[in-house]
């Protein structure tokens, strides 16, 4: 495989360890590693870059075994969280350092990123977004076989972060160079990722396409981390006609049978908030198999969306856009109908 292959990597640093990490992805793809602080995301990146040598396992980049190679031999562009720009050097000098890239190559990269007018400035005279572009230009000037990004947008304001995220996505698609991008931000992962891995305490919890990880989390930790707001302890009553019927308290809930283990009785029914539809009254649509009268418990704002906590005989969370919020008068105490399609409910064994 000419992409990236990481096979059974383990590393013991005493206070922290990576355990049997394996994944692979193709050239031109962006692999996003999600995880909370302390999960080992940066240690894993630094191991791939050659700052640590693993105790076991293998790292292959573009068909080359780089497991024991020094960092400078791996052809890796590493973009750090704090950008690591040299304050005493100009933009041009920062982009050329340390690989002493060809000046024509540097000018080409600076022009591509819209930085050619800043070549003589020093980092103190750059905005946060400009510093981010300079750091990206330095990584790009090295003509890398692999990009590594360690939460490079986390220090920026929301508007700049959104703009640069889209620019970075476009650039990576154009370059066709594989990239590994570390973040704890779900939105960032969804925008950038071709594949996603969720890391916890040095162990991979799940890898897959974004839709798979976000809509079919492997366990409760992954579900929590990727934004599944409702996880209901449920008891399976019957599996038939392609549906699973289960009880949640005194309510009955239906989910699509996706090959559920017939011996299971206790499960967590996972429901993403964007999959809960709110309306004034029940729908006649037979596809909406789960409909409940619910009372609004609380309302909070999430940027352009409202997060609605409901009591439907069980706790339930929904998202509502501003117009729906106004139309349904979604203030605490209001009564609404909550509908959840059976295909939107994912079951995890308890």
Per-residue model confidence as pLDDT tens digits over 200-251? 999 999 999 999 999 999 999 999 999 999 999 999 999 988 899 999 999 9
285 pLDDT higher than 70:
no
Structural domains in the chain plus CATH codes: 4-224 (3.40.50.300), 229-349 (2.40.50.100)
Spatial contact of 197 and 207, defined as CB atoms under 8 Å apart: yes
287 pLDDT higher than 80:
no
Neighbours of 215 (CB within 10 A): 17
Q: How many residues does the chain have?
A: 350
Q: What is the DSSP letter of 126?
A: S
286 pLDDT higher than 60:
no
- Report pTM: 0.87
Beta strands 335-340 and 290-302, pairing class: antiparallel
Cross-strand partners of 231 = 270
Q: What is the DSSP letter of 27?
A: T
Backbone angles phi, psi at 334, to 5 degrees: -65, 150
Looking up tokens 């289960």 gives 246
Mention every residue, 6+ apart, whose C-beta is less than 8 A from residue 281.
337
pLDDT interval class at 175 (50, 70, 90): confident
Backbone angles phi, psi at 264, to 5 degrees: -70, 140
pLDDT (tens digit per residue) in 47-90 = 999 999 999 999 999 999 999 999 989 999 888 777 788 899 99
- Residue 186 host element (H or E): helix 186-192
Predicted local distance difference test score (pLDDT) of residue 101: 65
Of 131, 171, 172, nearest to 152 by C-alpha is 131
Neighbours of 327 (CB within 10 A): 13
Predicted local distance difference test score (pLDDT) of residue 288: 56
98 pLDDT higher than 80:
no
- DSSP string across 257-273: -SS--TT--EEEEEE-G
Q: Which pair of tokens denotes residue 269? A: 């029914």
CA 257 centroid distance within chain: 27
For residue 248, CA distances in Å to 242, 308, 341, 345 come to: 19, 20, 16, 13
Q: How far apart are CA 273 and CA 8, in angstroms?
A: 36
Q: How far apart are CA 264 and CA 256, in angstroms?
A: 15
Q: What is the mean pLDDT of the chain?
A: 90
Give the range among 24-33, 45-54, 109-118 with minimum mean pLDDT.
109-118
């Amino acid at each position: 495989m000419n992409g990236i292959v990481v096979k059974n990597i383990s590393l013991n640093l005493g206070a922290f360890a990576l355990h049997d990490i394996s994944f692979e992805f193709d050239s031109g793809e962006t692999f996003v590693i999600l995880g909370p602080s302390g999960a080992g995301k940066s240690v894993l990146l630094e191991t791939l870059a050659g700052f640590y040598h693993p105790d076991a396992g293998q790292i292959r980049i573009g068909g080359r075994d780089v497991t024991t190679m020094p960092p400078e031999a791996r052809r890796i562009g590493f973009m750090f969280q704090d950008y690591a720009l040299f304050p005493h050097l100009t933009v041009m000098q920062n982009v050329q350092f340390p690989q002493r890239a060809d000046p024509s190559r540097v000018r080409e990269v600076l022009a591509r990123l819209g930085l050619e007018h800043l070549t003589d400035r020093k980092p103190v005279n750059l905005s946060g977004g400009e510093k981010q572009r300079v750091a990206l230009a330095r990584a790009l000037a090295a003509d890398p076989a692999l990009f590594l990004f360690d939460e490079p947008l986390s220090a920026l304001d929301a508007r700049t972060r959104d703009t640069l995220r889209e620019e970075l996505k476009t650039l990576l698609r154009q370059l066709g160079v594989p990239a590994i991008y570390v973040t704890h931000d779900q939105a960032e992962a969804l925008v950038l990722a071709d594949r996603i891995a969720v890391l916890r305490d040095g162990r991979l919890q799940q890898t897959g396409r974004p839709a798979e990880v976000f809509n079919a989390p492997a366990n409760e930790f992954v579900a929590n981390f990727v934004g599944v707001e409702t996880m209901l302890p449920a008891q399976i009553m019957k599996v038939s006609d392609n549906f699973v019927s289960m009880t949640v308290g005194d309510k009955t809930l239906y989910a699509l049978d996706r090959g559920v283990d017939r011996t299971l009785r206790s499960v967590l029914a996972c429901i993403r908030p964007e999959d809960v539809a709110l309306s004034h009254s029940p729908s006649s649509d037979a596809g909406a198999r789960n409909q409940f009268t619910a009372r609004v418990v609380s309302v909070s704002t999430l940027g352009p969306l409202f997060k609605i906590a409901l009591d439907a005989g069980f706790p339930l969370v929904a998202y509502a856009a501003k117009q729906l919020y106004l139309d349904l008068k979604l203030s605490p105490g209001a009564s609404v109908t909550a509908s959840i399609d059976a295909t939107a409910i994912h079951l995890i064994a308890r």
